Amino acid sequence: MPRILIAECKQEVATFNPHLSGYADFGIRRGEELLHYHRTVRNEIGGALSVFDDVPDVEVVPAYSAFFITSGGTLAKHAWEKIASEFIDAIRFAPPVDGVYFCMHGAMASETELDPEGWLIAETRKLLGEHIPIVVSLDLHGILTDRMVEQSDAIVAYHTYPHVDFFETGQRAARLLLRIVSGEVKPVTAKVAIPALVRGDELITATGLIRHAVNAAKAIEQSVAGLSAAIMWGNPFTDVPALQTYSFVVTDNDPALAEREALRIAHLFWEHHEKMHVPLVSLDEMARSAMEPSGGTIALVDAADATSSGASGDSNAILLALMAAGYAGRALLPIVDEPAVQQAFAAGIGATITTAIGGTLDPKRFTPLSITARVRLLADGHFRSESFGEAWFAGPTAVLEACNFTLVVSSRAVNLYDRSFFHAHGQNPKRFDAVVVKSPHCQHHMYADWCSRLVHVDAPGSSSANLPYLGHTCCPRPIFPLDAEVPFQPHAKLFQRHP
């Protein structure tokens, strides 16, 4: 009976966010609690379990899960050390296993370790030895370091953006792991580094130019010798030494095929890379656009403060610009501001308060704005995501009405790539003239399908799509779009644990 260990350590950070992430920002699950939770949601581990559960002679060993409630700033040293210790101890004290599935993101970074996923995989390898297969699933926004590939047997990554294939990615990883455990296949991986950091609509995998590279990777996976393949364009807000775009291909003991196809995917990406950016409008232009008749709801996209990309969530830049312009429409905005929430709770529902809003986490970018508002709703901040049914927690949350502006104010950052946060607190974006969307891209039905227009705003923030604004210091150079002349001379690097 093959025994498969499952563990998770998942976080995406923006190192440009000055507010450090902590241990309390993670949901920690062990043993049966891990299995129970993940069998209720359509994420990677849920997908992997659906495969393992269908194979009668597989025994699952649930070890440890540290899942960040939302993305955030660099992980504090003490928090990383605690999570790393708990993760490795769970591996150390687990019964002997025949294979390992790790669910990770790939764009995690701590104050002291810039490749946490690679470190965890390498330490696991030390404990389990050279011959226990390890398969790792990653977000396509992960940063594929050499150590991750060297210490694992195979990598599996998402194929969709916006991400809708969490469950399927876990299934692919589980099926591949079982094939490796049985001795049916011998993986070899080719990885190609591509000097580019990209954003924008052309990265929407269903319609954008990135689809050419993605479809090539999917076709390889469906071929006889192909085991896994992807294009991973990383998280440009996680400024670490390995940050760039990567293609990779895993084949069944065919290094020449892996190398050839990884290079082909890289060229398919590079052919279109200059178009993979976001046309942005200034805050003043945004305010003027919002004042124009629209015939529906305008989505003001503040990707610079996208909490799902690691930003702080406390930007008041669009609110300030709309107020300064005299915007009279009904506007809905999310913001993180724990002191304002505490003041609202102290006053109670129906009370009128004067409070500062914004700039509590990233004060160098955002200056607190004084508003007078009525407290319309108070909540504990627990809710389920609209997209995949996951348990999300925004901390104590208040809905404040300041004239024509409705602010949903949370105590902590929470994912905003769907409408869950608004709906959970009694707000329907369709009933407003304007809604601030703090996510670069959502599934189309969330906003794009029904909003009269989407305005992408060049606002300040630690996840700005205006990449030169951020000030990268660690990633390889030259790199697009930070440098004017960027040569592209790709070569494939091969990895194989057991030829």
DSSP 28: E
Q: Which residues pair with 480 in a beta bridge?
A: 196
- Identity (one letter) of the amino acid at 215? N
pLDDT at 499: 78
Q: Give the start-end residues of each E strand in 38-162.
A: 59-68, 99-104, 134-138, 154-157
- Find all residues with CB under 8 Å of 333, minimum gap 6, and list them: 318, 319, 405, 406, 407, 408, 435, 436
pLDDT for 390 equals: 84
Q: What is the DSSP string of 291-341?
A: HS--SSPEEEE-GGG-GGGT--S---HHHHHHHHHT--S-EEEEEE-HHHH
CA 134/CA 170 separation, integer angstroms: 14
Strand partners, 26: 68
Closest C-alpha to 47, from 1, 97, 103: 103
* Distance, first Cα to last Cα, the chain: 25
| Cα within 13 Å of Cα(429), Cβ side | 25
pLDDT value of residue 11: 95
- In angstroms, the Cα distances linking 455 to 205, 232, 287, 424, 477 are 20, 27, 10, 25, 31
User: DSSP string of 347-398?
Assistant: H-TT-EEEEEES-SS-TTT---EEEEEEEEEEE--EEE-TTT--EEE--SEE
Where exactly are the structural domains of the chain?
3-276+491-495, 283-465
Task: Check: pTM over 0.75? Answer yes or no.
Answer: yes
pLDDT at 388: 83
DSSP state string for 208-256: STTHHHHHHHHHHHTSSSEEEEEEE---TTS--TT-SEEEEEEEES-HH
Query: What CATH number is given for 3-276+491-495 in this structure?
Result: 3.40.50.2300
pLDDT at residue 389, rounded to an integer: 85
Question: Are 188 and 494 in contact, with CB atoms under 8 Å apart?
Answer: yes
Q: Are 103 and 137 in contact (CB under 8 A)?
A: yes
- Cα–Cα distance for residue pair 450/87, rounded to 1 Å: 44
Structure tokens at 81: 């050390």
User: Comparing C-alpha atoms, which of 494, 471, 450 is closest to residue 256?
Assistant: 494
Q: Running along the chain, 499 residues long, what does each successive block of 10 average in pLDDT?
A: 96 97 95 93 95 95 94 97 98 98 98 98 97 98 98 98 96 98 98 97 96 98 97 97 98 98 98 95 96 93 96 98 97 98 98 98 98 98 90 95 98 95 98 97 94 97 97 98 96 93
Q: What three-state secondary structure class fits 118?
A: helix
Coil, strand or helix at 155: strand
